[in-house]
Structure 1
Amino acid sequence: MIPYGRHTIEDDDIAAVADVLRSEALTGGAAVGRFETALAAVSAAPHAVVCASGTAALHLVAMGLGLGPGDAVVVPSVTFLATANAARYVGADVRFADVDPDTGLMTPETLEEALARPSPGRPRAVIAVHLNGQCADMAGLLTVAERHGLTVVEDACHALGGAYRLDGIRHPVGAAPRSAAACFSFHPVKTVAMGEGGAITTRDDALADRVRRFRNHGMTRDPGAFTETAQAFDPSGAANPWYYEMAEPGFNYRASDLHCALGASQLAKLDRFLARRRALAARYDRALEPFAPLVRPIPRGPTEDDGWHLYVALIDFAALGQTRARVMERLRVAGIGTQVHYLPVHRQPYYRALDPDITLPGADAYYARCLSLPLFPDLDDGAVERVAATLGEILS
């Protein structure tokens, strides 16, 4: 069976984890810092804070920015649940933006539409999602966000290794040159796998400090941050060695040394993994050409070096007289796994109950046609041809 996505684990990855198992620290040790240093270098950001998942990363940033009740966060509807849920975790309202029907990406125009739509909460932030590995139009989105006084957060869970241009300068995804932060996921089907894991990159020193505290219950052991001096210090003025403080509660969102050792080993292979994913995406583009216009790749935008997490084909199932479920089942019988990314979040029951009248035609049009085909570094060229040929036979 060819899955739609799969991690690539090699002997050096296994050795890196085994070394941690033989060490004295399984969590809270040196491997955490090594991974953060490596990720900061890859993303060209001063701070990288590793955590338990991409979901945890989004939640930590929402907490770090002080978002809460009375605030609204604009989120594209075509994304994973966590992007919107992170706002709800802190009590903020979610305002869904429509997307381009062919790329699934929020655009400056759809962001403006979402901001103009009457909805609970005062808009304070927007989460720009880099979907499938393609970067959103950051220049355009930042222009709109800055005009409205919004903080921008990048959901880069699909886009590690990608890049975009601002003011003529190429920025790796994660550099966050004018965003508050970027959030990453290292789930097994992502480009770099940690098993479970996530991270935040930022240029904001204060935000980095806050998310570090929030990932560890809100605790600090920094004597310079202590406020309860009578219990924090002994008569000589030295900090008591056991002492810590919690100014506000956080969560146990730490990542272990086991996860970080695997992540650092994988991160060293990022260029190779990306090169293979891009080559496979180009091969899919060519293999699907005979089936156009009823089957076609998502259009390529102006961004640079897309970090292809997913390869999505747009299929006009209605014109072909076939249901997507039937096509997926026939592919499965042929040994080919596929997936749909994503059911628009505004159509989920929880969010539908909050805003039953919302209609987002771009998101619905993208969802109606999208199908994620197998894409991972170990996929061979012949498998791409087989997937395309089998899809063509089924659709014919």
Structure 2
Amino acid sequence: MLPAILGGTPIRSNPLPYAKQYIDDNDCRAVSEVLKSDFLTTGPMAKKFEEVIADYVGAKYAVAFANGTAALHGACFAAGIQPGDEVITTPITFAASSNCVLYLGGTPVFADINKDNFNINIDDIAKKITKKTKAIIPVDYTGQAVDIDALKNLVKGTEIVIIEDSAHALGTKYKEKRVGGLVDMTEFSFHPVKTITTGEGGIITTNNKEYYTKLTNFRSHFITRDVNQLENKDGGGWYYEQLDLGFNYRITDFQCALGISQMKKLDWFISRRKEIVNIYNEAFTNLDGVILQKNEGFSDTVNHLYVLKLDLPKLKADRKEIFQALIAENIGVHVHYIPVYWHPYYQKLGYEKGLCPNAEDLYNCMLSVPLFPAMSNDDIRDVINGFYKIISYYRK
């Protein structure tokens, strides 16, 4: 069939986005009730949301933030990142995973990814560790857990902090245990396209009380009324102190009410995402011209993204042409992500292309395929048919 971009008929009559939030009447009622209550900003619903998340992932503590970037910033502060420190992370991620290091004057160091599962390569992390290494920020890319035990063994006997960026991975299990309570700190994002949403929002989970206290203070100007933290123990009931330089990274109660309501649907969100992924896997395994992301046996993955790698030597078009052809079919593909150090800002900092060959190779031929729970079976069929149409046309 002739591609729509060349004058053919599109697979779909209306565009299908690569992702979309799912909001129902229960979510709207939950938010509305808080809007009519006495608390709008961080209050009882925020505390309840933190408890719900901590209980779900099996962590002792959780601290909610205005967004996932703020949460990562807080985690880096709690870990003690400062000028002169190095923090190792992956380049195949949203820029926040390394920007959070720059905010505190630290230096991001990029380790390459595995060719098959697209997660950060543990052996390359080992090569990048120096006396300056303060932390590692692995990313559970697409929702697949990194090899947590291998990471923990790598830093055993050191003071290197592991901050797991699980923005994609709420609900994912590593060796039968949910990510969120397995390393020093774990971050989740609640952006609209993530597994659950609070509109904007993020959270850090931890089992470390010292980190918990620092995170709680950091998100609210580092101002406290806790008598156990005050230098002046004789202040009145009105008294508070700023103990360090913090930020206003508080989340609202109505956002957290939405999050709590969303958590009640999480099992269905997970089930539907896995169902769609299984259909995709079965269909795309047989499509010559694309390569599937490997899912490791230790990860019971809840996919936030479904990424295909184009087998470009078999195609007579590059990724840009394939991307544009699929968009013309009204299939909302996307690309996640441009290697962080390719961005102009990082180039100005002195990072150069060529640092992570596997990551750069993946970027040049990857596409994110539509994946969200509200997709109908017809939507899924359209995506599969669209890929078969375009890849078949452009195959050598």
The normalised TM-score by structure 2 is 0.92
| 1:19-98 correspondence runs (5 A) | 19-98=33-112
Helix, strand or coil at the partner of 1:314: strand
Q: Is the 8 A contact 1:27 1:258 kept in 2?
A: yes
Helix, strand or coil at the partner of 2:143: coil
Helix, strand or coil at the partner of 1:124: strand
2:385 to 353, 372, 389: 389
Q: Is the 8 A contact 1:107 1:141 kept in 2?
A: no
Per the TM alignment, residue 11 of structure 1 is displaced from its structure 2 partner at its CA by: 0.7
1:153 to 2:191 alignment: no
1:130 to 2:130 alignment: no
| Residues 345-366 of structure 1, C-alpha deviations (whole Å, 9 max, x = no match) | 1222222332336521111122
Return closer, same or farther for 1:211/1:17 CA change in 2, 3 Å cut-off.
same
Per the TM alignment, residue 147 of structure 1 is displaced from its structure 2 partner at its CA by: 5.2
**Alignment match, 1:114:** 128
**Alignment match, 1:333:** 328
2:214 to 210, 213, 216: 210
1:190 to 2:194 alignment: yes
1:219 to 2:223 alignment: yes
Superposed CA RMSD: 1.5
Counterpart CA distance in 1 for 2:160 and 2:227 is 34
| 1:305-320 correspondence runs (5 A) | 305-320=300-315
Q: Is the 8 A contact 2:171 2:178 kept in 1?
A: yes
Helix, strand or coil at the partner of 2:298: coil
Counterpart CA distance in 2 for 1:255 and 1:338 is 31
- For 1:138, the aligned partner's letter is I
- For 1:150, the aligned partner's letter is I
| 1:139-288 correspondence runs (5 A) | 139-146=149-156, 149-165=159-175, 170-176=176-182, 179-229=183-233, 233=234, 239-288=235-284
Q: Is the 8 A contact 1:130 1:159 kept in 2?
A: yes
Per the TM alignment, residue 384 of structure 1 is displaced from its structure 2 partner at its CA by: 1.5
| Residues 93-149 of structure 1, C-alpha deviations (whole Å, 9 max, x = no match) | 111100012322112212112226xxxx81111011100010011111221122554
Q: Is the 8 A contact 1:107 1:137 kept in 2?
A: no
Instruction: Report the identity percentage.
Output: 36
Helix, strand or coil at the partner of 1:42: helix
| Residues 44-80 of structure 1, C-alpha deviations (whole Å, 9 max, x = no match) | 1010111011111110011111110111000111111
**Alignment match, 2:11:** none
Q: Is the 8 A contact 2:110 2:355 kept in 1?
A: no
**Alignment match, 1:236:** none
1:348 to 343, 347, 354: 343
| Residues 147-190 of structure 1, C-alpha deviations (whole Å, 9 max, x = no match) | 5542111000000000112xxxx3211012xx210001000000
Q: Is the 8 A contact 1:322 1:395 kept in 2?
A: no
**Which sits farther off after the overlay, 202-211 or 25-34?**
25-34
1:379 to 2:393 alignment: no
Q: Is the 8 A contact 1:278 1:308 kept in 2?
A: yes
Helix, strand or coil at the partner of 1:296: strand
- For 1:196, the aligned partner's letter is E
Return closer, same or farther for 1:259/1:201 CA change in 2, 3 Å cut-off.
same
The structure 1 segments of at least 4 consecutive aligned residues displaced by more than 4 Å after TM superposition are none
Q: Is the 8 A contact 1:102 1:366 kept in 2?
A: no
Per the TM alignment, residue 318 of structure 1 is displaced from its structure 2 partner at its CA by: 4.4
Counterpart CA distance in 2 for 1:75 and 1:352 is 17
Counterpart CA distance in 2 for 1:103 and 1:82 is 21
Return closer, same or farther for 1:358/1:289 CA change in 2, 3 Å cut-off.
closer
The normalised TM-score by structure 1 is 0.92
Q: Is the 8 A contact 2:142 2:305 kept in 1?
A: yes
